Each structure stands twice: as C-alpha cells, then as structure tokens.
Homo-oligomer: A and B are copies of this chain.
Amino acid sequence: MPKLSEAAIEKRKELIESAARELFIKQGFHATSMRDIAKDAGVSLGNLYNYYETKDAIFESIVEKYLEVIDERLREMFASIDEPLEPESLRRLGEMAGELVNNHSDFWLLMYIDVLEFQNRHFRKMFDGLSQRFRKVFGPKFKEAEKRGDLRTGVDPGSVFTAAYMQFFNYFLVEKLFGGNRHLGVSDEQALNSLTKIFAYGTLSDKKMASFKKKVASKGIA
C-alpha cells in the first residue's frame, strides 16, 4: 500500500478527532480510553498510533483546530461590529456570544478539561491580554467615540468592551453548562436587554447619581 495522500491522512485525522472530541466532552479526558476513540472512529486501536504519538497529542490537536475555528468566529463577530460602544452593538455582541456558546458548548468544556488537566495551558491565550486585543481591533473606533464625547469621563473603552464581552459569555455559559436556568430571573432576551442597559446607562437614577458623585468628590475617591 503506497503512502496515503496528505488529504487522505487529514480526513482520517478528522474522523478520529471528531470521535475523540465527542467522547472527551461527554465523559472527560481521563474517562475516555483510546479503545473508546478507536471504536467510535471505526479504526483499530493500534492504528491510532500511526496518526498520533500519544493520547495527549489527540487532545492537543483537537484543541488547536477548535481554537482556530472559534478565533475565526470571534473575528467575524468583531468584524460585524461597526461602533463597538453603541448600546445596539453591545446587545448584538451579547446575542452573538449566546449563539457561540450554544453552538459550540463543547469548546468550553474542552477549556474546562484544559484547566483541570493542563492548567489551561492551551487556552490561556484566549484571556491573556484580552483587553489589549480589543484595543487593537477597535482602537480607532474607541478614539472616535471618545472624541465625539460619547463616553462618560474616566471610562476606559477597552475595559468596558472587555467587561461586556466577559459578562455576556459568562451569562450564557452559566445558563448552558452550570445549570443556572434563568439565573438572572428573566428570559435570555430580557437578560440581554438588562445587561446592555446596565453597560449603557448604569443603574442609578440621575438624582442618585448626582448625590453619589458629590460624595465621591468630597471624599477624594477616584
């Protein structure tokens, strides 16, 4: 049998990794055996080792490819956002986060596996310097918004966008994976509205806000 084409090899790997991914997600990394993977992939046990050196290598390959998929989705998300700090944009960011979580919940399960088994070695890059990345993507837009005077003084656009991003993702992750059914007490739609409004307007009334600001000023708190 002559050497398989690169494409054929890749196809075989896809098959194996797809089976492995489902198993890892369903029952965890250690609870999934190479025999399980071989069976679900329709491949012999020994043959797995023609494609991967170790079981860890399968996990790593899966994560590597999945990270690219998610990165691409995130790039699409950000590319579709014109004015990142407009309330409508934040609301849409939240919607898209919800879709990403619901369509790819296995991705985050893999991340939790990584946290537990590998100290999040493979997923760290998702969080490391997150706000700086947003500043790179939206820097000009942030500047424009500041120049227009859209933002309250002292508000750092990068931090705000990052915080909103995290809040939305965390909301849907808790709903999807942690059993918090309607943990904000309202539907997803209403939760998105509430969170968007919080980021836009805050929660205090004008009256209260004024009195609080005075207090802060008199105390000299930042």
Partner of A203, one of B117, B120, B155: B155
Within 8 A of B (CB), among A85-102: 85-87
Chain B residue, CB-CB nearest to A222: B193
The answer to whether the Cβ of A67 comes within 8 Å of any Cβ in the partner chain is no
When the two chains form their complex, are residues B180 and A174 in contact, meaning their CB atoms are under 8 A apart? no
Looking at the complex, which one of B31, B120, B153, B166 makes contact with A30 (CB distance below 8 Å)? B31
Does A70 interact with chain B (Cβ within 8 Å)?
no
Contacts of A171 in B (CB 8 A): 163, 166
Q: Which residues of B contact A207 (CB under 8 A)?
A: 149
Q: Are A116 and B183 in contact (CB under 8 A)?
A: no
Contact of A116 among B112, B126, B199, B206 (CB under 8 A): B112
Copies in the complex: 2
Number of interface residues of A (CB under 8 A): 74
B183–A130 CB distance below 8 A? yes
* CB <8 Å contact, B30 and A150: no
**Provided the pairs A112-B115, A127-B179, A178-B123 are in contact, do residues A162 and B184 lie with their beta carbons within 8 angstroms?**
yes
Report, nearest first, the 9 A-B pairs whose CB atoms are least far apart. Answer: A127-B180, A30-B30, A202-B202, A124-B179, A131-B185, A201-B202, A130-B183, A150-B208, A170-B170
- Residue A217, interface by CB 8 Å: no
Residues of B close to A186: CB separation below 8 A: 156, 159
Residue A212 at the chain B interface, CB threshold 8 Å: yes
Given the contacts A159-B184, A166-B171, A179 and B128 also touching, CB distance less than 8 Å: yes
Q: Which of B128, B151, B156, B198 contacts A160 (CB 8 A)?
A: B198
Which of A124, A129, A204: most chain B CB closer than 10 A? Answer: A204
* Separation of A203 and B163 alpha carbons in the complex (Å): 11
